[in-house]
Structure 1
Amino acid sequence: MKSPKEYALEKYLLSQLDRDSDSYRLATLLVQDPEIEALQEYANSVSIKRLNYNDHGPVHMRQVAINGVKMLTLLKDAGIKTSLEQEESGSFEDSMLALLLASFVHDLGMSIGRSDHELTGLVIARPIMNRILTQLLGDQLTRKIAIISVASEGVLGHMANRRVHSLEAGMLLVADGCDMEKGRARIPMSIMSHAKVGDIHKYSSNAIEKVTITKGDSVPILIDIAMSSDVGFFQVEEVLLPKISMSPAKVYVQVHAGVIGKERKKYL
């Protein structure tokens, strides 16, 4: 059964999309798909209960989708074309479809385990993406191939251990890294019994009070991170910044971070 948080995120995600667009229709299919939901739920169980990591389930993947939609829209507003647009292989809407798809399936490999989960996840996700896009686009084969290929690049590269080249895949990297607010560590913190390897992910995420994505002054995207203690800098410097540095979107992003009440550090 879906949590109230999931429903709230779904409502917000859909509110950010044009009701007459393919991206709205795709988001609707994604949030209603029982196979995706079941895989996300089990991936989260493995992540939290077996591996002692933070949320890698339905709430996380919906938040990543929201982050991605915000940032891709900010790039469009700044006149930045996506890779599919630049290469004349698709439209901005196609890029949004690829980012939405990748956001909802990028961590499905966690249903098997952490090691190489971007690879196992792509094996799991590819037929699902094909099925969903066939529902949405029918026999538009050329369009489907471009969208699935870009989404696959995003899934494969989201751990920042492989270079990605499309702006869309790069946006997934940043959107994924931005999901670091304290709520992501709520369940792991509540069931913690004794010290384990990986606890820094829980403690550092629990220190992040708010992540805000807005229009920047000198670049299209400003990511502002407010934290309750310095341990939150682990999330910024060891999780988010490595993802941004491997992203083709790096030149379009600023990061400001700091403890509430103190001066922000400015990165990038």
Structure 2
Amino acid sequence: MVKNPRAPVAQIVEGMEDTRPQQPEAAAQPSDKTLPVKVDELARDPEVQAYIEAANANLGVIGFTEHGTRHANLVSRIARNVLRRLDYDPHLQELAAIAGYLHDMGNAISRYDHALTGALLAREILLRYEVAPADIALVMGAIGSHGDDSQRLGEAVHPVSAALILADKSDVHRSRVRASDPSQFDAHDRVNWAVESSFLRVDPEEKAITLELTIDTSISQVMDYFEIFLPRMIMCRRAAELLGCQFHIQINGVELL
């Protein structure tokens, strides 16, 4: 058992801060118009359904975890809840829910640059529903900034973007694993399979956002989680900071960050 796991993890995170791009001085502002479409209607849209189904199928072929309607629904709900708990305007909450539902559609085209292609697909769909340009810009910015490829981490650029990153990167759970035979698990499968529960807790009074995980350490060690997901946790930390909060990780009741 690690006697003091907090310090090494915190030091690793601090050591990577120098690579962080500078935040812009101003971010896009939402429109003052009522949204002509809500996330529930978008979830029933045949085009949206086709893109999400294709994206999930494509990622399954190349060995990625589940990225279908389960993931889309969960990320949508969590993104909305992050802004709701922090008392953001209901209009921004709905935009976060929309961005959360649509964020992975770009995988229908390719995993590479899927955040950018997904933002463009979302633009065409929201234009069809006559969503205001300012609102489309916010959704596109959120989707386009959520990627975590090896070249550069996505960076939260406004509250909708921050909520999407936190919601997306906190979805670690055994229900995402596609393989039924543990002998076929890769490193991501093993870590996801080890996570028995995952909850993103938002405490507005303490200005804290905490990812609470329960991990079966007989399947995967705690440090395996950080080895796989540390870049995503750095993204979450920066996203929480944009929302005026501190980001924490609690695993099996122990705060590690």
**Fold conserved (TM > 0.5)?**
yes
SS in structure 1 opposite 2:211?
A: strand
Does residue 127 (structure 1) correspond to residue 124 (structure 2)? The answer is yes
Q: Aligned AA for 1:41?
A: E
Counterpart of 2:198 in structure 1 is 211
Counterpart of 2:77 in structure 1 is 66
Q: Distance in 2 between matches of 1:255 and 1:43?
A: 31
Counterpart of 1:165 in structure 2 is 157
| Structure with the largest fraction of helix | 1
Structure 1 residues 162 and 172 mapped into 2: Cα distance closer, same or farther (>3 Å)? same
Q: Distance in 2 between matches of 1:242 and 1:177?
A: 10
Of residues 228-237 and 156-165 in structure 1, the stretch that sits farther from structure 2 once superposed is 228-237
Q: Aligned AA for 2:100?
A: S
Q: Distance in 2 between matches of 1:147 and 1:110?
A: 23
Structure 1 residues 175 and 24 mapped into 2: Cα distance closer, same or farther (>3 Å)? farther
Which of 168, 171, 176 aligns to 2:168? It is: 176
Q: Where does structure 1 lack aligned partners over 5 or more consecutive residues? A: 1-21, 82-91, 138-143
Counterpart of 1:47 in structure 2 is 59
1:37 Cα shift? Answer: 1.0
* Over 4 Å off, 4+ runs: 22-25, 191-195
Query: Aligned-residue CA RMSD in angstroms?
Result: 2.6
1:108 Cα shift? Answer: 0.7
Structure 1 residues 235 and 167 mapped into 2: Cα distance closer, same or farther (>3 Å)? farther
1:245 Cα shift? Answer: 3.3
Q: Where does structure 2 lack aligned partners over 5 or more consecutive residues? A: 1-33
Counterpart of 2:110 in structure 1 is 113
TM alignment of 1:142-153, pairs within 5 A:
144-153=132-141
Q: Distance in 2 between matches of 1:225 and 1:194?
A: 24
Structure 1 residues 72 and 23 mapped into 2: Cα distance closer, same or farther (>3 Å)? farther
Counterpart of 1:84 in structure 2 is none
Counterpart of 1:88 in structure 2 is none
Q: Distance in 1 between matches of 2:108 and 2:181?
A: 20
TM-score by length of 1: 0.71
TM alignment of 1:1-268, pairs within 5 A:
26-49=38-61, 51-76=62-87, 81=88, 92-132=89-129, 134=130, 144-160=132-148, 161-185=153-177, 187=178, 189-190=179-180, 194=184, 199-216=186-203, 218-229=206-217, 230=221, 233-234=225-226, 237-238=229-230, 240-247=232-239, 248-249=241-242, 251-258=244-251, 260=252, 263-267=253-257
**Cα offsets for 1:54-93 (capped at 9, x unmatched):** 11121111110111122111111xxxx5xxxxxxxxxx12
Q: Distance in 1 between matches of 2:228 and 2:254?
A: 12
SS in structure 2 opposite 1:190?
A: coil
1:117 Cα shift? Answer: 0.8
Q: Distance in 2 between matches of 1:58 and 1:66?
A: 12
Contact 1:74 1:220 in 2 (8 A): no
